[in-house]
């Protein structure tokens, strides 16, 4: 059988993590692999975890880098020189808003963690992420601790870091990574509406896509509409952070204005809803996007590819070797980019290409086999708008509609799909019918707002559960061993009152437990053994000033819930 080397697209990138170039001996190996793979662009991770892997006056030098290679070695300088000598472009890859993801707090006292704790993103309960332990953010499925792009000083700091690199090094580009919020319930504006999501049931709305919205109960669609309005501010903050970097690089006379790119989530619902990274609206802010279309499902990759090219034709596409034996899929994905006229691809990452990928198969020097195909069937979805808004509310709200507001909401929902026409067809809706239903929804939402907001100074107390409990911290011990030990706990020496809160596994367990029955709850930092002793009724009127600050979002959320339930009776 004759084998052919696959024709490659114009841009062929390679992401190289900071640690991969932390030793001078690693540079020739990186260059050798880049030449073998016909790499045109290297993205080197110059900023990670709030530390610099280059000479910086704004960031502390990576202690790992210093311990491994001494205080003078500069991996960005060395890699750029060696790559340029071979005609390979180098981009400084900057982890932008993710500033720490270690098990212990940063060592350097000049780290952003200590210098600007006020920049921390807050969750829907008002807690600063910088107060999370590693186990807590990991429990929530997050990447680490983030700073908030809503803050102008923080945006200026990020722009300054990128400018410092552009001035000091002849890099061909700057790439922003983690230029997003950490998740759905982080970074919402500090307003009453945000407290709608402070209760446990709101966690069911932590993800959203076009095909899901019409199947939700009307009351849940009301929450999604409010999230859209709140999320618009998160989207604007992320965009302003990108814009700050772009404007700074383009306006400074000391730079040659390297190209600015951003690594972005490929899945539109996840990018737009969960992390407020609406990159399809970043026109003029970046020169191009690197769409992290990491999947071994070639059908899903094709969806990501088609969507991205329809809105950002200059995009390059990330191929991530996150699964074993995916050389055949990677070849097909690169071929798909080429066949559709895409600008190029970028491989994630150098370490995996060295240790886990059969490069002979990837380059077509020997058979790679057949790529795996998707087994998922995208069938019809029944029940679209089967819970219509109350007609009385629709009538009340018609006169409250702001011109274009319902269309803007609909446009946003349509963006929560990689193939909107296909998904509307699955829902059994024409575009006209979709917008017609939304007009009724939004009219009713506006009428509900008149009945619910402003919340006012007197709030309704949420229900409570008084529990006796014992807490067994993990303290480095295997969680399963601690959980097993929890079954033998005899005494419950502590007492407290638990309220229904989002992002709180103990609250979720307590409100699901039966009174008088001992239960075990796995939490981020340990195991609770508890028993519900008393149930406390909701509905007591309490003045805002008399409510503990940490419980205020829950009181506001419960008051909104009670008014919503009453309005829909």
The three-class DSSP label of residue 415 is coil
Give the pLDDT score at 476.
Answer: 86
Buried residues in 219-258 as b, exposed as e (16+ CB within 10 A): ebbbbbbbbbbbbeebbbbbbebbbbbbebbeeeeebeeb
Q: Measure the CA–CA gap between 77 and 61, rounded to whole angstroms.
A: 14
Contact between 226 and 196 (Cβ < 8 Å): yes
Which of 512, 502, 558 lies closest to 532 in space, CA to CA?
Answer: 512
Cβ-contact 80, 90 below 8 angstroms: yes
Predicted pLDDT of residue 375: 59
Q: What is the DSSP string of 461-521?
A: PPPEEEEEEEEEE-TTS-HHHHHHHHTT-----EEEEE---TT-HHHHHHTTSPTT-EEEE
Q: Quick one: which of 550, 508, 545 has its CA closest to 530?
A: 508
CA distance 508 to 7: 54
Q: At what angle do helices 298-311 and 327-339 cross, to 10 degrees?
A: 30
Q: Any idea what DSSP says for residue 538?
A: S
pLDDT at 4: 32
**Can you say whether the dihedral through the CA atoms of 522, 524, 527, 531 is positive or negative?**
negative
pLDDT at 529 > cutoff 80: yes
Q: Assign 1 a pLDDT band (cuts: 50, 70, 90).
A: very low
Beta strand 51-52 pairing with 173-177: unpaired
- 537-546 pLDDT, tens digit per residue, is 999 999 999 9
Q: How confident is the model at residue 10 (pLDDT cuts 50, 70, 90)?
A: confident
- Contacting residues for 435 by C-beta, under 8 A, at least 6 apart: 406, 407, 410
Residue 282 has pLDDT above 70, yes or no: yes
- Exposed, middle or buried: residue 527 (CB in 10 Å: 0-12, 13-18, 19+)? buried
pLDDT band at 120 (very low <50, low <70, confident <90, very high): very high
- Confidence band (pLDDT; 50, 70, 90) for 6? very low
Would you state the pLDDT for residue 9? 55
Burial string for 532-546 (b: 16+ CB within 10 Å, else e) reads beeeeeeeeeeeeee
Tens digit of each residue's pLDDT (9 = 90 or more) over 224-279: 999 999 999 999 999 999 999 999 999 988 777 789 999 999 999 999 999 999 99
- Mean pLDDT over residues 390-401, rounded? 97
Over 50: is that where the pLDDT of 294 sits? yes
Any alpha helices (H) in 356-496, and if so which ranges?
359-362, 391-398, 405-414, 420-427, 431-452, 479-486
Q: What is the pTM of this model?
A: 0.95
Q: Which two tokens stand for residue 59?
A: 């960031």
Mean pLDDT over all residues of the chain?
95
Find the mean pLDDT for residues 92-100: 98
How much is the pLDDT for 531? 98
pLDDT tens-digit series, residues 461-502: 999 999 999 999 998 899 999 999 999 999 999 999 999 999
d(CA 3, CA 50): 46
Angle formed at CA 134 by CA 130 and CA 136, multiple of 5 degrees: 85
Only one residue has tokens 């759905």, namely: 184
Average pLDDT over residues 276-293: 96
Mean pLDDT of 32-58: 97
Would the pLDDT of 7 be above 60? no
Q: Among 274, 280, 235, 237, which residue's Cα sits nearest to residue 262?
A: 280
Instruction: Tell me the per-residue pLDDT of 344-381, one tens digit each, with 9 for 90 and over.
Output: 999 999 999 999 999 999 999 999 889 987 756 789 99
State yes or no: cis peptide before 349, omega within 30 of 0.
yes
Report which of residues 8 and 273 the model is more confident about: 273
125 pLDDT more than 80 = yes
Residue-wise pLDDT tens digits, 185-239: 999 999 999 999 999 999 999 999 999 999 999 999 999 999 999 999 999 999 9
Report the share of the chain in percent with pLDDT over 90: 94
Quick one: tokens of 381?
């979805």
């Amino acid at each position: 059988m004759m084998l052919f080397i696959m024709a490659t697209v114009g841009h062929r990138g390679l992401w190289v993590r900071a640690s991969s170039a932390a030793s001078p001996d690693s540079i020739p190996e990186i260059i050798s692999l880049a030449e073998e793979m016909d790499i045109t662009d290297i993205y080197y991770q110059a900023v990670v975890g709030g530390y610099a892997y280059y000479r910086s006056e704004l960031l502390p030098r990576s202690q790992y880098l210093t311990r491994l290679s001494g205080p003078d070695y500069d991996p960005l300088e060395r890699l750029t020189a060696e790559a340029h000598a071979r005609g390979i472009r180098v981009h400084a890859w900057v982890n932008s808003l993710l500033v720490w993801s270690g098990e212990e707090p940063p060592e350097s006292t000049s780290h952003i963690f200590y210098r600007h704790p006020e920049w921390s993103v807050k969750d829907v309960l008002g807690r600063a992420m910088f107060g999370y332990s590693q186990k807590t953010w990991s429990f929530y499925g997050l990447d680490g601790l983030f700073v908030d792009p809503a803050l102008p000083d923080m945006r200026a700091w990020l722009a300054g870091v990128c400018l410092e690199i552009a001035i000091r090094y002849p890099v061909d580009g700057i790439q922003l990574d983690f230029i997003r919020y950490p998740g759905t319930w982080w970074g919402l504006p500090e307003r009453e509406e945000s407290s709608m999501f402070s209760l446990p049931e709101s966690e069911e709305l932590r993800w959203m896509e076009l095909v899901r919205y019409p199947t939700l109960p009307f009351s849940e669609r009301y929450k999604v509409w409010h999230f859209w309005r709140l999320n618009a501010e998160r989207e604007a903050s992320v965009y302003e952070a990108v814009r700050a970097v772009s404007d700074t690089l383009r306006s400074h006379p000391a730079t040659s204005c390297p190209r600015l790119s951003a690594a972005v989530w490929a899945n539109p619902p996840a990018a737009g809803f969960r992390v407020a990274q609406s990159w399809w609206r970043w026109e003029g802010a970046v020169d191009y996007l690197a769409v992290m279309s990491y999947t071994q499902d070639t059908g899903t990759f094709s969806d990501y590819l088609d969507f991205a090219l329809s809105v950002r034709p200059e995009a390059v596409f990330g191929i991530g070797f996150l699964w074993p034996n995916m050389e055949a899929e990677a070849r097909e994905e690169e071929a798909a980019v080429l066949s559709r006229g895409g600008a190029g691809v970028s491989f994630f990452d150098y370490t995996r290409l060295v240790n886990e990928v059969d490069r002979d198969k990837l380059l077509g020097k020997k058979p790679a086999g057949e790529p795996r195909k998707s087994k998922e069937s995208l069938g019809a979805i029944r029940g679209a708008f089967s819970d219509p808004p109350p007609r009385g509310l629709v009538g009340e709200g018609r006169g409250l509609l702001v011109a274009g507001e319902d269309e803007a909401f609909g446009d946003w929902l349509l963006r929560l799909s990689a193939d909107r026409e296909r998904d509307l067809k699955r829902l059994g809706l024409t575009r006209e019918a979709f917008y017609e239903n939304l007009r009724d929804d939004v009219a009713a939402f506006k009428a509900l707002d008149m009945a619910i907001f402003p919340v006012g100074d007197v709030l309704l107390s949420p229900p409570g559960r008084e529990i006796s409990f014992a807490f067994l911290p993990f303290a480095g011990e295997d969680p399963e061993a601690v959980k097993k030990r929890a079954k033998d706990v005899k005494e419950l020496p502590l007492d407290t009152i638990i309220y229904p809160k989002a992002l709180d596994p103990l609250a979720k367990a307590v409100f699901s437990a039966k009174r008088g029955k001992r239960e075990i709850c796995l939490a981020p930092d340990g195991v609770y053994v508890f028993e519900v002793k008393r149930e406390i009724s909701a509905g007591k009127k309490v003045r805002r000033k008399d409510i503990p600050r940490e419980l205020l979002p829950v009181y506001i959320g419960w008051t909104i819930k009670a008014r919503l339930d009453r309005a829909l009776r």
